[in-house]
Structure formats: C-alpha cells, structure tokens
Chain A
C-alpha cells in the first residue's frame, strides 16, 4: 500500500537531486561550529584554571559533560520527532528522529569512553556502577536497539512507525532507569561515588564554568551541524530511491 503511495509522489529530476546546494543554514552551522570549537579549546586550555586536586586530567570534564548533554538533547529530539511522526505522518519527522538517534549514539559512545578514562585517573578504577555511568550505558543499549529496529526489513512507513513507538517508550524509560539505579547504588556506595567529580556539587570555579558553557555551546553547534548534514543526506537518499523506482518502471515498459 505504502509503496503505491510513494510512487504517486512526483519524483524530481536527477539533476536537482545531485546538486548539493550549500544553503545559508549549512554555512552558518559550519561556521558556528568551527568558531565555537576553537573558542572552546582556547577557554579549556588557556583560560580555565587547573583543578587543584585532580590536575590537568580534570580537563576531560569539558568534553565529557558536553557530550553527555548532546546525547540527551539528541535523544530528546528523537522523542519529540517520534511523537510528531505518529501524529502527522510526515517522512521528514522520521528522518530527523533517525539521524538524531544516530548522533546520540555517537555521543553516548564518547561519554562511555571518556567516563572510564576519567574514572581510572581520579578513582583508580575503570568502571564504577555509578548512577550516571550506568544510566548512560543502558541508554546506549536502548538506542542501539532503536537503530536495530530501523534496520528491520519492510517498507519505510512500517519501520518508521515502529521506531517512533520505540523512541517514545525508550525515552520515557530513561528517568525511571536513572532513578532506579541511583536508589540501588545509594545503598552500596553512600558517598564515595555518589559525589563524584562529575557532579558539580562542590561548586566549580567561575573560569571553569565559563569554559564548560563555551564547550557546551560548541558541542551543540556540532550536533546541529551533524543533524543538518545527516538529514539532508537522508533526504537525498530518499530522492534517489524514488528516482530509481521511476527509472525501473520506465525500463520495464
């Protein structure tokens, strides 16, 4: 049924598909990303003071926390676009949800690799079953599963529908997971890991906060840029698919 629907759509001529037009938005996002990333490096290494107890290693913080923020943002975007897709049933929403989830998995991977490195240097253990780390791990598995749902065979609208449903439940699961793990852990590690350096509980120096905010801005720009690029690529792929379909029909007749 859906295949017929797709066929009815007017497929654009190939020339129009091929030309990768650099729009204003792409330029803005790219420029913003580069500038803010350079600024972030300046603030991280030259502006922010060096932490007293942990030393230079603390600078991992400026990559770790923004990545975590971007990952959560990406999954939230997936959640929002999943809902929008189920309501409006437009393919563009599904594309956004997919690309955002993929970027989210990439940034979760960053969190999960920098986390243990930091843990090793400051807690002298690679992995602690600390609420934040464990939640991130479960998040990683959840969104890997989301990407697996997308790999399913079948027509796109079925996949999109199922993935949207999974995206909604998966995101609803996240706070409960975090809460459950926090509660679970507080019984075993009362203070030692509960108040780890990733928490800003102890209060951080203003210069560090500035560096962190700049890093977060830079990573958000990076996310926006990747999302934009990914979505325009997916759109191009869809158009090529339509074109292929049309060409096949013509060759058959």
Chain B
C-alpha cells in the first residue's frame, strides 16, 4: 500500500515539476520581453 502511494506521489511530483519548469522558463521569458519593451521606448 505504501509503495503505491510512493509511486503515485513520485509520478505527480515529476509531472508537476516539469510543468513548473516550463512555467519558470515562461516567466523568465516574460521578464526578457518586459526588458526589451523598456529598451524599445
């Protein structure tokens, strides 16, 4: 039983971790865009 919980939690930790990573990349790109906008003015 414990093994099952461990496995399921690891699966979702990995999937959400990956989604979080994508989100992080996204926000860093957003920051880049903001900076470029400032520069453009």
The answer on a CB contact under 8 Å between A240 and B11 is no
Q: What distance in Å separates the Cβ of A123 from its nearest Cβ neighbour in chain B? A: 12
Closest chain A CB from B35 CB (angstroms): 10
Interface residues on B, range: 20 to 34
Complex CA distance for A109 and B14, rounded to whole angstroms? 8
Residues 12-41 of B at the A interface (beta carbon under 8 Å) = 14-15, 18-19, 22, 25-26, 29, 32-33, 36-37, 39-40
Stretch in A114-122, A133-141, A150-158 with 4+ CB within 8 Å of B:
A114-122
Query: B interface, by DSSP: helix, strand, loop or mixed?
Result: helix
**Bound: A237/B14 CA distance, A:** 24
Q: Is A230 an interface residue (CB 8 A)?
A: yes
Q: Which stretch, A57-65, A162-170, A180-188, A192-200, touches the partner chain B?
A: A57-65
A229 is an interface residue with CB less than 8 A from chain B: yes
- A-B contacts, 19 listed (Cβ < 8 Å): A14-B37, A55-B1, A56-B1, A59-B8, A63-B7, A64-B7, A109-B14, A110-B10, A113-B11, A113-B14, A117-B3, A117-B10, A121-B3, A226-B19, A233-B25, A237-B29, A240-B32, A244-B36, A251-B39
Across the A-B interface, the 3 shortest Cβ-Cβ residue pairs: A121-B3, A60-B7, A117-B7
Task: Please list the residues of chain A having a beta carbon within 8 angstroms of any beta carbon in chain B.
Answer: 14, 17-18, 55-57, 59-60, 63-64, 67, 103, 106, 109-110, 113-114, 117-118, 120-121, 222, 226, 229-230, 233, 236-237, 240, 243-244, 247, 251
Residues on B lying within 8 angstroms of A by beta carbon are 1, 3-4, 6-8, 10-11, 14-15, 18-19, 22, 25-26, 29, 32-33, 36-37, 39-40
